[in-house]
Structure 1
C-alpha cells in the first residue's frame, strides 16, 4: 500500500515512515524545506506548494494519507502580554488550513477504501481544558471539528477519516520528559490506521486505541 505522510522528516512522522517501510509499504513523505531524496517539498502554509504536491503525486493512488505536519508556537506564552496576532495566524495556517488544503489536494489520488488520519491532540478536546496554550488548543479543537465533518462528507465516497491523539511524545514538541517514545506512538498510530474503516470513520482515539472524548 502507498502512504502519504506530511512532516515525515522528523519526530512521529519520521518514525511512522520507517516502520511502514520496514513492513513493505510504500511511503511518500513530505518535508517543508527544499526537496530531499525520498521526500516531496510541502510547506502546508504556502499555497504554491500544494500545486507542486499534486504534480509529484501524478501516477499514484494513495491508500492512506496521514496529516501529521503541525506547529506548537505558543508554549509558555503569558496571558497578559503574549499570544500575538501573527502567532494565531501562523498556527491556524499550519494546523487547520494546512490540513484542509492537504486533504483537498490529495482527494483526486484517493479512492473508495482509502483512509485519512489526522494527527490532532488531546489539547483540542473540551475534556482536557487545563488552561494555557490557547492558540495551539484552539487550532487542535478546530481540526477535530474539521476531521469529524470530513468523515461525514467523505463517507459516501468510501473514504474513512480518523482523528488521533499521538500521546505525549519525546519529540522537539513534547520534550525529553514526555511519557512515550516516537517508536511507541508511531506503532500505535499505524495500528489505529490499520483498524480504521468506514464503520468507525469520524473516531477520535488515543494512540493506544482507547477512545478519547471530544
Structure 2
C-alpha cells in the first residue's frame, strides 16, 4: 500500500514515515522541506503541483498530519491577532481540504482507500478548557471537515477517520507531554489499520478511545 503523509519532516509525521517504512510500505513523505515531495498545504499551486507529480499513482492511505499550534501562550486580553488565526486555519483546516481534494484521483485508484486526519481532543466541545482559541477552533473545524468528508466520500468507497494523537513529547507537544512519540505512532497506525467503511467518520484517540465531538 502506498502511503502519503503530510507534515512528514518532524514530530508525529516523521514518526509515521519511519513506522510505515519499517513495515515495508511505499511512503511518500510530503513536507515544506526535507520530504520526498515538496508540499506547503497553504499554497494551492504547490498542492496542485504535488498532485500533478503523483498523477496515476494509487494512494491507499492519505495521512493529513501537517499542523501548527502558533497561539500557545497567547493572552485573551491582548493576543490572538488576526494573522495568527489566518495562519492556523490555513494549515489546520484549509490545508487538509486542499490536500484531500487534490489527491482524490490517486485515492480512487487504490483498493479500499483511507484518509486519516490528525486532529486533537482540544477541538472537542466536551473538552473546552479555555485558552488556545485559534488552535482549538481549527481542530474543531478539522474534525467537522473529516465527518463531512466521510459522508460525501462514502459512495466512492473512501473511508475517513479523525484521530487525536495524544499529548506527545515532540517540539509541538513539549518535553512535559504525556506519551512518547513511538507510543503515539504505534497507536495511530493500529487505528489506521482498523479504519474501514464500517468505521468511517470515527473520532478516536491514538489508543482507541472514542472522543465526543
| TM score, norm. by length of structure 2 | 0.97
Match of 1:170 in 2: 169
Aligned mates of 1:208, 1:30 — CA distance in 2: 25
Q: Summarize deviations over 1:152-207 as a string: whole Å, max 9, x none.
A: 00000000000000000001110001011111111111100000010100000000
1:15-94 matches, within 5 Å, as 15-33=15-33, 36=34, 39-94=36-91
Q: Summarize deviations over 1:97-138 as a string: whole Å, max 9, x none.
A: 000000000101012510000000000001110000000000
5+ long unaligned stretches in structure 2: none
What is the number of equivalent residue pairs in this alignment?
Answer: 211
Match of 1:100 in 2: 97
Aligned mates of 1:51, 1:142 — CA distance in 2: 23
Pair 1:132-2:131 in alignment: yes
Secondary structure of the corresponding residue to residue 29 of structure 2? strand
Q: Summarize deviations over 1:67-98 as a string: whole Å, max 9, x none.
A: 00000010000101000001001100000000
Runs of 4+ in 1 over 3 A off after TM superposition: none
Aligned mates of 1:8, 1:206 — CA distance in 2: 20
| More displaced 10-residue stretch of structure 1: 109-118 or 71-80 | 109-118
Aligned mates of 2:199, 2:48 — CA distance in 1: 31
> How large is the RMSD of aligned CA atoms in angstroms?
0.9
Match of 2:11 in 1: 11
| TM score, norm. by length of structure 1 | 0.96
5+ long unaligned stretches in structure 1: none
Secondary structure of the corresponding residue to residue 162 of structure 1? strand
Aligned mates of 2:116, 2:187 — CA distance in 1: 13
Deviation at 1:56, TM superposition (A): 2.1
